[in-house]
């Protein structure tokens, strides 16, 4: 009887040890996956900044495979898909981020931006408003809400949002460019030129935004009958993006003596 009890006791000890080892292995595996996800996230962000979007997408995919609840990976992948014009897929990533973090103002901002690119202004506005309800000092959300107002022809509200965005973030190139667009709509060309030039001096984080501002600068110089300045702005833009179709159209219009718009 004693031998039997001792055997059962040893068996229980052995099983407990195995369970502990299995638990340790599971924890180690989870820790490794979390670490791998963070490293892939870091790689994705670096590639995204360099505009290597295919590489960034692959890195974000790995991050999500290792940690399916990593909100920042869904936001990063969504932004890359925006750049690749995969807007429906980008919105799906933002939806997933919001399912994981319903009070993340940056996720509402990101989804609103994708809706705005799809010309779904009402959905975009709802997301920008939700972002601002969570964080009223969100400069980027104010800027994008201003874009919706501008698209709807409400120049006063657009200017209010752009100016408030600039107050919160004085170095915001986007806010300066937003003011430029309103002034351009009001046909205040000199003021618009100043705001557009300021936006370029403040600096953009992406080549796409920089080229957009320089295209506007070309149009403004032409409208103000400053062909030399227009040509200089055009050459600067072409140095950034030599195959940009809108820039090439500006060159063709200029060569043919047409009004540049």
Confidence class for position 24, pLDDT limits 50, 70, 90? low
For the chain, what is the largest distance between any 2 Cα atoms, rounded to a whole number of angstroms?
Answer: 108
Count the Cβ atoms, other than its own, within 10 Å of residue 126.
16
40-44, 158-162, 217-221, 228-232: which has the minimum mean pLDDT?
Answer: 228-232
Count the Cβ atoms, other than its own, within 10 Å of residue 5.
9
Mean pLDDT to the nearest integer, 48-54: 92
236 or 105, which is more confident?
Answer: 105
Position 116 pLDDT exceeds 60: yes
Residue-wise pLDDT tens digits, 149-175: 999 999 999 999 999 999 999 999 999
Cα separation, 258 vs 242, in Å, equals: 21
The predicted structure's pLDDT at residue 97? 98
12-21, 56-65, 160-169, 249-258: which has the minimum mean pLDDT?
Answer: 12-21
Mean pLDDT to the nearest integer, 214-238: 89
Position 19 pLDDT exceeds 80: no
The predicted structure's pLDDT at residue 32? 84
CATH of domain 29-136: 1.25.40.10
Q: Where are the domains of the chain?
A: 29-136
Instruction: Write out the H or E segment, with its range, that includes residue 247.
Output: helix 245-255
Separation in Å, CA 11 to CA 1, 2, 7, 19: 15, 14, 6, 12
Mean pLDDT to the nearest integer, 120-149: 97
The predicted structure's pLDDT at residue 9? 53
Share of the chain above pLDDT 90, in %: 67
Nearest CA to 115 out of 139, 137, 131, 133 is that of 131
Whole-number average pLDDT of the chain: 88
Q: What is the pTM of this model?
A: 0.81
Position 20 pLDDT exceeds 60: no
């Amino acid at each position: 009887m004693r031998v039997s009890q001792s055997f059962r006791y040893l068996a229980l000890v052995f099983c407990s040890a195995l369970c502990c080892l299995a638990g340790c292995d599971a924890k180690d595996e989870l820790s490794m996956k979390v670490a791998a996800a963070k490293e892939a996230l870091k790689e994705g962000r670096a590639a995204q900044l360099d505009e290597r979007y295919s590489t960034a997408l692959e890195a974000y995919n790995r991050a999500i495979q290792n940690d399916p609840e990593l909100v920042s990976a869904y936001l990063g992948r969504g932004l890359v898909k925006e750049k690749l014009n995969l807007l429906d897929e980008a919105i799906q990533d933002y939806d997933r981020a919001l399912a994981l973090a319903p009070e993340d103002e940056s996720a509402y901002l990101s989804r609103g931006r994708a809706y705005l690119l799809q010309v779904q202004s009402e959905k975009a506005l709802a997301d920008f408003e939700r972002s601002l309800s969570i964080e009223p000092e969100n400069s980027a959300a104010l800027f994008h809400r201003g874009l919706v107002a501008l698209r709807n022809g409400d120049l006063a509200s657009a200017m209010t949002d752009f100016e408030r965005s600039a107050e919160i973030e004085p170095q915001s190139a986007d806010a300066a460019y937003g003011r430029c667009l309103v002034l351009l709509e009001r046909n205040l060309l000199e003021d618009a030129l100043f705001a557009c030039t300021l936006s370029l001096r403040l600096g953009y984080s992406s080549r796409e935004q920089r080229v957009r501002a320089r295209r506007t600068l070309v149009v403004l110089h032409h409208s103000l009958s400053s062909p030399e300045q227009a040509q200089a702005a055009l050459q600067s833009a072409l140095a950034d993006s030599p195959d940009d179709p809108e820039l090439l159209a500006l060159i063709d219009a200029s060569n043919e003596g047409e009004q540049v718009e």
